[in-house]
Amino acid sequence: MKIVCVESLGIGRETFDALAAHYSALGHVFHYYLDRRENEATLIERMADAEVVVVSNIKLPAPVLSQCPHLRYLSVGFTGLDHIDLGYCQAHGIAVQNAAGYSTTAVSELAVGMMLDLMRGVTALDGTLRQGKSRGAFLGRELRGKTVGIVGTGAIGIATARLLLAFGAKVVAYSRSHRPEVEALGIAYLPLEALLRQSDIVSLHTPLTDATRHLIGIPELALMKPTALLINTARGPVCDINAVANALQNGTIAGAAFDVFEQEPPLPSTHPLLGAPHCLLTPHVAFATEESFAARADIVFAHVDQWLQQQ
Tell me if residue 149 falls in helix, strand or coil. Answer: strand
Angle 122-130/104-120 helices, nearest 10 degrees?
Answer: 50
pLDDT attached to residue 80: 85
d(CA 50, CA 30): 9
Longest dimension (CA), the chain: 68
d(CA 279, CA 229): 10
d(CA 229, CA 81): 28
| DSSP string covering 182-231 | HHHTTPEE--HHHHHHH-SEEEE-----TTTTT-BSHHHHHHS-TT-EEE
Residue 303 falls in the annotated catalytic set: no
Residue 141 falls in the annotated catalytic set: no
pLDDT attached to residue 76: 98
| 27-50 per-position pLDDT tens digit | 999 999 999 999 999 999 999 999
With left for phi above 0 and alpha for psi between -120 and 50, is residue 132 left, alpha or beta? left
Per annotation, catalytic residue among 235, 271, 291, 296? 235
From residue 6, alpha-carbon distances to 57, 74, 218 in Å are 11, 11, 40
CA-nearest of 56, 69, 64, 58 to 2 is 69
Per annotation, catalytic residue among 31, 83, 213, 284? 284
Using only C-alpha atoms, the chain has a radius of gyration, in whole angstroms, of: 21
| 122-180 per-position pLDDT tens digit | 999 999 999 999 999 999 999 999 999 999 999 999 999 999 999 999 999 999 999 99
| Strand residue runs (E) in the chain | 2-5, 29-32, 52-55, 73-76, 95-97, 147-151, 170-174, 188-189, 201-204, 229-232, 255-258, 279-281
CA-nearest of 180, 122, 190, 97 to 150 is 190
Per-residue pLDDT of the chain (311 residues; tens, 9 = 90+): 999 999 999 999 999 999 999 999 999 999 999 999 999 999 999 999 999 999 999 999 999 999 999 999 999 999 889 899 999 999 999 999 999 999 999 999 999 999 999 999 999 999 999 999 999 999 999 999 999 999 999 999 999 999 999 999 999 999 999 999 999 999 999 999 999 999 999 999 999 999 999 999 999 999 999 999 999 999 999 999 999 999 999 999 999 999 999 999 999 999 999 999 999 999 999 999 999 999 999 999 999 999 999 99
Per annotation, catalytic residue among 72, 109, 264, 271? 264
CA-nearest of 220, 183, 163 to 173 is 183
pLDDT attached to residue 122: 98
Residue 284 falls in the annotated catalytic set: yes
Q: Are 226 and 252 in contact (CB under 8 A)?
A: yes
pLDDT attached to residue 309: 97
From residue 143, alpha-carbon distances to 2, 118, 215, 257 in Å are 51, 11, 25, 16
Within 13 Å, how many C-alpha atoms sit on residue 188's CB side?
9
CB atoms within 10 A of CB 305: 14
d(CA 6, CA 56): 9
CA-nearest of 210, 254, 213 to 231 is 254
pLDDT attached to residue 84: 97
DSSP state of 148: E
